[in-house]
A and B are shown apart, each in its own frame.
Chain A
Amino acid sequence: MINDKNSQKIVDIIQNWSRKHSIWVLAYGTGCGAIEIPPTMTSRYDAERLGVRGAATPRQADVLLITGYLTTKTLKRVIRVYEQMQDPKYVIGFGSCTINGGMYYDSYNTIKVLDKYLPVDVYINGCMPRPEAVLAGFGKLQQLIAEGKANGATKYKENLEWYRGNQKKIIPNWVMPEYNW
């Protein structure tokens, strides 16, 4: 009965609903965007009412929030953190820098397009995005989750070779454990 297709669908709906309403965020404060997280979480905007909540370690987190530009140095850590997160997991690119480099478009030591290295589910535009925008981003992510379309992790697994290739281009001496999902 459990393996029945219909019941699987029901289970999926319930699971997606719960995932949608319980988003534990691992905020990777790489750039200046991290300053926008506290207002988002505290009294004025109160992201917790949406079920958004900080997580302490990648093992417990659902969402990896890349707040702003990502230097080549930190990329390694971010990849590591992402790979340590457990399925299902999502990435939110926060701010213009994650989209196209933003004001660091010609910097020699930041990466410009986050999507080449990690599968981004939702981008939040702005430099930097205001809390309202962040909330909107979370709303979008919730919508995607509910629809079952937030499948960045699957994409990552399927195109691991490609992602790895891009990553290794940036990180010269690659000493990382194999990705175990």
Chain B
Amino acid sequence: MNTIILIFIIFLGGAILTFLAGMLKGILKEVLFLASVFVPVVLFFTNISIGQTFSFQAAGFAFQWGITPLSYVFALIVAGLGLMAAIYAVSAMRNKDNVSFFYFNYILTIMSMLGILFSRDLISFFIFWEIMTWSSYLMVVYQGKDVQTVGIKYFIFSAVGAYAMLMAIVVIYSLTGSMMIDSLIQSFPGFSFNMQLLIPILLLIGFGVKSALMPLHVWAPGAYSHAPMAYSSVFSGALSKMGIYGMVIVMVSLISHIPGGHWFREVIAWLGGITAVMGTLWAIKQDDAKKLLAYSSIGQLGYIIVGVGIGTPLAMMSGLFLAVMHALFKGTLFMVVGAIERQTGTSNLTEVTGLIRKMPWTFLAALFAIIALAGIPPLGGFISKWMLYESLIGSNHYLLVIVIFFSSTAAFLYCYKFLFGFFLGQEETEWSHVKEAPAMMVVPMLILAVSTFVLGVFPGLILNPINEAMQTLGYANTQGHLWELSIIFNEWGNQIAMQPIVYTIIGIFLFFLTFLTIKGYKETRYVTTKDISSSGEVPKEHENLTFSMNFMQPFFRAVEPLMRRQIDKYYTGFANGMEALFDFTRRIYTGNGQTYAMYVVIFVVLLLLFKNIIFG
């Protein structure tokens, strides 16, 4: 049996079996769940080689599944993060209602994401896309909060995106007579200009929704924060990357062939830039860690879109590398929030404080992830940021680089807010009972966190598959002049050699760690955080001295004009207007038989009057 189909059968069967096992007591469902994620992932890593395909016919369409170098990069994200989050989920979701439903959707999501990456034809791409959409939708509403607003909003946006994509697909089918992605790419340059413009726009709407591109992002904060955190890490880390995956194909293989296509890509890149800024600003404003991470994800996806949109080799590399990194660190951060929420019962940054001594390992994971997120060397986030800036500067995007830089500098604010809010600050008695999260939750986080470090020192590990992917997209081989195992270059040949830098940093750090920190730590003794210099006062046990309300208020006083308008409000207004309009159309059906009879007469009379126009 073909391994590709085997993977999907195991996923599907595993999902159903896990769901059914949910009716039984015991750990059968957990075991089945882990197995049905683990086995296909292992099969994927061991038995799937690039170029292997599997084809069949159904409903008059030819289907072809197989992995390409590009989708391999994304499949790495999906498989890796999916597996880690699955391990995490088993522990995180224990004792929740309807766990098997969660598992069911989780497996389906992983399956559909791999399916998207495996699809070489548009129909199965779309089918898996929709499965991904509704399984993720079910996860968004899983906890039953704000389902009629957040859930519906997510699904409407997804549906608009998916239907735009569907329209593009049928148009492509009518133009080429084939559903194969390859044949689309081949015949695209021959399309008329209108079609060349229409198809990418429609596809980009579809992909833009999933990758939370402005102005299609408004579903994201709610959806990311309402899903269970074990799922959100996949949601934000991997699922949003499906949009990026599609965008890469559209940008490189389609839009580049339009006359004047680089302007198109410029627009997309600018949209990405604005997304990055606004996502970051709103992230700073959030008090709920989930919302903060959700907006931060929007911002980070904005960077990726900028990289993909600019599309020079370095930019594309940075976009794809950041896609991988974002999966690692944002996956970790959502897991961290999940762990904290599980241990404390809330994820509000203004409530939870001072967990660092209670949950040190979680803090360590969060610290790594935040450093990677902020793009500070030597972790992997820096590599992607560096490549992004260099590529923007190298390709003369004067203003865009400033926009991006503003966004990533402002990102420090929410990075700090996240760490400070949860882990630092006063240790309140309210949280003195909090324990470290179970090992099954902590270990996946730490693995992901440490891998950001490894990729920071040896970016070549992941740049190698990215390079191969880019070669199939038509880029030149960049190994050697843009990157090596642990050195990255910009287009002018300036380099960052990660190894000496990292060794120096580690050296300095160890020196001060030994002679300052550990020595000092041993010589001194611990006092509670109530023992602070607060004008000679002795704070009472229950007095909360933590500074967490209006955390970045001065900053917001400065950027207030930027944040006065919310796209969300326009959408809400539009939706309300539509509902009012539809309420009016509803009244066409008056419920009065005479009116209905009159409609019939009017219908006949109109047809008879205008018969020559209508039937002429």
Do A177 and B527 have beta carbons less than 8 Å apart?
yes
A6 adjacent to chain B (CB < 8 Å): no
Query: In the complex, are the beta carbons of B533 and A58 less than 8 A apart?
Result: yes
- Residue of B527, B531, B535 near A77 (CB, 8 A) is B535
In the complex, which of the residues A76, A84, A176, A177 contacts B533, with contact meaning CB atoms closer than 8 Å? A84
Interface assignment of B525: CB less than 8 Å from any CB of chain A: yes
* Chain A residues within 8 Å of B, Cβ to Cβ: 28, 57-59, 74, 76-78, 80-81, 84, 175-177, 180
Q: Are B525 and A76 in contact (CB under 8 A)?
A: no
Contact A180 B525 (CB under 8 A): yes
Query: Can you give 19 contacting A-B residue pairs, CB < 8 Å?
Result: A28-B536, A57-B533, A58-B533, A59-B533, A74-B536, A77-B535, A77-B536, A80-B536, A80-B537, A80-B538, A81-B533, A81-B536, A175-B538, A176-B538, A177-B530, A177-B531, A177-B538, A180-B525, A180-B527
Interface positions of B (Cβ within 8 A of A):
525, 527, 530-531, 533, 535-538
Q: Which one of A76, A175, A177 contacts B536 once the chains associate, using CB atoms below 8 Å?
A: A76
A-B interface, 5 closest residue pairs, ranked by CB to CB distance from nearest: A77-B536, A57-B533, A81-B536, A80-B536, A58-B533
Q: Are B537 and A77 in contact (CB under 8 A)?
A: yes
- How many angstroms from the CA of A57 to the CA of B533 in the assembled complex? 7
B525 contacts across to A, CB distance below 8 A: 180
Complex Cα distance, B538 from A175, in Å, reads 8
Q: Complex: how many Å from CA A80 to CA B535?
A: 9
Minimal beta-carbon separation of A157 from chain B (angstroms):
15
Chain B residue contacts of A175, Cβ below 8 A:
538
Known: A77-B536, A177-B530, A177-B538. 12 other contacts (CB 8 A): A28-B536, A76-B538, A77-B535, A78-B536, A81-B533, A81-B536, A84-B533, A175-B538, A176-B538, A177-B527, A180-B527, A180-B531
Whole-angstrom distance between the alpha carbons of A177 and B527 in the complex?
9
Q: Could you tell me the distance between the alpha carbons of A81 and B538 in the complex, rounded to whole angstroms?
A: 10
A77: chain B residues at CB < 8 Å are 535-537
Closest to B530 in A: A177
Q: How far is the CA of A177 from the CA of B525 in the complex (A)?
A: 14
Distance of A35 Cα from B535 Cα, bound (Å): 19
Give Cα A77–Cα B538 distance, bound, in whole angstroms.
Answer: 8
Chain B: minimal CB distance from A164 (Å) = 15
Tell me which residues across on chain B come within 8 A of A176, comparing CB atoms.
538
Most A CB contacts (10 A, CB to CB) among B531, B535, B536, B538 go to B536
Residues of A within 8 A of B536 (CB): 28, 74, 76-78, 80-81
- Chain B residues within an 8 Å CB radius of A78: 536
Q: Please, which residues of chain A bring their CB within 8 A of the CB of B531?
A: 84, 177, 180
From B526, which residue of chain A is reached at the shortest CB distance? A180
A74→B536 CA distance, assembly (Å): 9
- Name which residue of chain A comes closest to B541, CB basis: A175
Give chain B nearest CB distance to A142 CB in angstroms: 25
A78 and B530 CA atoms in complex are apart in Å by: 17
A177 and B533 alpha carbons, distance in the complex (Å):
13
Bound Cα distance A176, B539 (Å): 10
* Residues of chain B contacted by A58 (CB below 8 angstroms): 533
Q: Give Cα A81–Cα B533 distance, bound, in whole angstroms.
A: 7
Distance between Cα atoms of A53 and B402 in the complex (Å): 42
Complex Cα gap A64–B538 (Å): 18
> A84–B527 Cα gap in the complex (Å)?
11
* Complex Cα spacing A143 to B538, Å: 34
Nearest residue in B to A28 (C-beta to C-beta)?
B536
Q: Of all chain B residues, which has the CB nearest A58? A: B533
Query: Given the complex, which residues of A lie within 8 Å of B537, measured CB to CB?
Result: 77, 80
Expressed in whole angstroms, the Cα–Cα distance for A34 and B519 within the complex equals: 39
Q: Which residues of B contact A74 (CB under 8 A)?
A: 536
| B-side contacts of A80, CB under 8 Å | 536-538
The docked-state distance in angstroms from the alpha carbon of A180 to that of B527 is 9
Complexed CA–CA distance, A34 and B406 (Å): 45
A78–B533 Cα distance when bound, in Å, is 11
Q: How far is the CA of A165 from the CA of B464 in the complex (A)?
A: 73
Bound-complex Cα distance A84 to B533 (A)? 7
Closest CB of chain A to B533's CB: distance in Å?
4
CB nearest neighbor in B for A175: B538
Whole-angstrom CA separation of A78 from B535 in the bound complex: 9
